[in-house]
């Protein structure tokens, strides 16, 4: 079965789909290894880890699609991409969708913010007209070559126009052909429940984990979300924020070691070299070497044991 078809079926299933955010080979391989059925490439994660700047529309189309291609190529689970505003008008959206589909991802999210966009939980958002948003979604739907490639329509109009306008826009985007809908930065559980009842296509929401993801959307467990009709729960910043915390803790111990002039062993702060190699597919590389390298090449690398 195609990954796009698998992704579509996961979205349309009765059970809620949990979609952690990923931003590199480590995170993508890890969520696959841990049994998650799909992931979402985080535009914020790419901007922050690639450029070292906040998610305010600085990541270019070329950088986004290139990184997304590499990430999608290293795992077998479906991944969706973050297409931001589509990098221009509806014509640009057409080619943006073509580019991401060719890169091997299984869906794309497109939003109705004014460019340059910003993270949905930041202040200062602006949105384009609903009419222009509709044309962008129409262009996206027409651009895809695989009918199972998911078009996820996101509206940020809650911050600027309120929940009713967000629902109106999502209905327009659904009519234009969007497969998955997303109203970013909903302010309450009741708002999430209302949107699920008022839109005709599956709804996705963003969640944090352990702490509120933002000053806006409340933190709900997957079962609560499923019970009120949510189809997909994304956790776009969980892995990036956990990575920062992990690196900070490890570096703090390193500083302590330097200051105290002694070795401090903290195996709880870092995975082993063997675990990294296992996660990153070294076993597969060794299998390919055994299949394709000559005996002389193998002996040169590994000695007679090869």
Q: pLDDT tens across 123-171, in order? A: 889 999 999 999 999 999 999 999 999 999 999 999 899 999 999 999 9
User: Which pLDDT band, with edges at 50, 70 and 90, does 211 fall under?
Assistant: low
Q: What is the mean pLDDT of the chain?
A: 95
Q: If you average pLDDT over residues 251-257, what whole number do you get?
A: 97
Domain total in the chain: 3
CATH of the domain at 171: 3.20.20.60
CA 241 and chain centroid, separation:
14
Whether residue 152 contacts residue 204, with contact meaning beta carbons closer than 8 Å, is answered with yes
Q: pLDDT at position 214, please?
A: 55
Is the same domain home to 121 and 145? yes
Report the C-alpha gap between 227 and 275 in whole angstroms. 37
Is the same domain home to 122 and 229? yes
Is the same domain home to 27 and 49? yes
CA distances from 273 to 101, 153, 197 (A): 35, 41, 49
Report the C-alpha gap between 220 and 222 in whole angstroms. 7
SS3 137: helix
Is the same domain home to 219 and 261? no
Q: How many CA atoms lie within 13 A of 113 on its CB side?
A: 28
Q: If you average pLDDT over residues 227-239, what whole number do you get?
A: 96
Report the C-alpha gap between 80 and 71 in whole angstroms. 11
Is the per-residue pLDDT at 213 higher than 60?
no
Is the same domain home to 173 and 279? no
Q: Beta-carbon neighbour count of residue 15 at 10 Å?
A: 10
Is the same domain home to 287 and 195? no
Is the per-residue pLDDT at 26 higher than 90?
yes
Q: pLDDT at position 151, please?
A: 98
Last residue of a domain, one of 218, 236, 254: 236
Is the same domain home to 32 and 176? yes
Report the C-alpha gap between 79 and 22 in whole angstroms. 9
Is the per-residue pLDDT at 215 higher than 70?
no
Q: pLDDT at position 138, please?
A: 98
Q: pLDDT at position 304, please?
A: 79
Q: pLDDT at position 90, please?
A: 98
Is the same domain home to 29 and 138? yes
Is the same domain home to 66 and 130? yes
Single pTM value for the model? 0.94
First-to-last C-alpha distance (Å) of the chain: 37
Is the same domain home to 247 and 295? no
Pairwise pLDDT comparison (120 vs 31), residue with the higher score = 31
Model confidence pLDDT, tens digit, residues 97-131: 999 999 999 999 999 999 999 887 888 899 999 99
Q: pLDDT at position 120, please?
A: 78
Task: Give the percent of the chain with pLDDT over 90.
Answer: 92
Report the C-alpha gap between 289 and 295 in whole angstroms. 10
Model confidence pLDDT, tens digit, residues 62-93: 999 999 999 999 999 999 999 999 999 999 99
* Domain housing 253: 238-270
Whether residue 112 contacts residue 176, with contact meaning beta carbons closer than 8 Å, is answered with no
Is the per-residue pLDDT at 218 higher than 60?
yes
**What are residue 106's phi and psi, to 5 degrees?**
-110, 5
Is the same domain home to 206 and 87? yes
Q: If you average pLDDT over residues 272-281, what whole number do you get?
A: 97
Is the same domain home to 144 and 257? no
């Amino acid at each position: 079965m195609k990954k796009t078809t698998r992704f579509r079926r996961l979205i349309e299933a009765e059970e809620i789909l949990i979609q952690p955010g990923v931003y590199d080979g480590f995170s993508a391989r890890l969520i696959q290894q841990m049994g998650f059925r799909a992931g979402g490439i985080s535009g914020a994660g790419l901007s922050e880890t690639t450029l070292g700047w906040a998610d305010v529309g600085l990541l270019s189309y070329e950088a986004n699609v290139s990184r997304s291609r590499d990430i999608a190529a290293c795992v077998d689970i479906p991944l969706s991409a973050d297409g931001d505003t589509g990098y221009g008008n509806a014509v640009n959206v057409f080619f943006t969708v073509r580019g991401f589909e060719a890169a091997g991802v299984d869906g794309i999210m497109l939003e109705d913010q004014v460019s340059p966009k910003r993270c949905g939980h930041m202040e200062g958002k602006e949105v384009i007209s609903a009419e222009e948003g509709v044309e962008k979604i129409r262009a996206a739907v027409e651009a895809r070559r695989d009918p199972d490639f998911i078009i996820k329509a996101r509206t940020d109009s809650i911050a600027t126009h309120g929940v009713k306008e967000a629902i109106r826009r999502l209905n327009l985007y659904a009519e234009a052909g969007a497969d998955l809908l997303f109203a970013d930065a909903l302010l309450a559980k009741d708002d999430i429940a209302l949107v699920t009842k008022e839109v005709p296509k599956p709804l996705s929401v963003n969640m944090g984990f352990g702490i509120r993801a933002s000053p806006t959307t409340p933190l709900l467990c997957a079962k609560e979300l499923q019970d009120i009709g949510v189809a997909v729960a994304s956790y776009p910043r969980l892995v990036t924020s956990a990575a920062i915390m992990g690196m900070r803790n490890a570096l703090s111990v390193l500083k302590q070691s330097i200051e105290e002039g002694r070795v401090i062993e903290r195996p709880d702060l870092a995975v082993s070299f063997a675990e990294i190699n296992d996660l990153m597919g070294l076993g597969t590389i060794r299998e390919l070497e055994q299949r394709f390298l000559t005996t002389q090449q193998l002996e040169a690398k590994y000695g007679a044991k090869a």
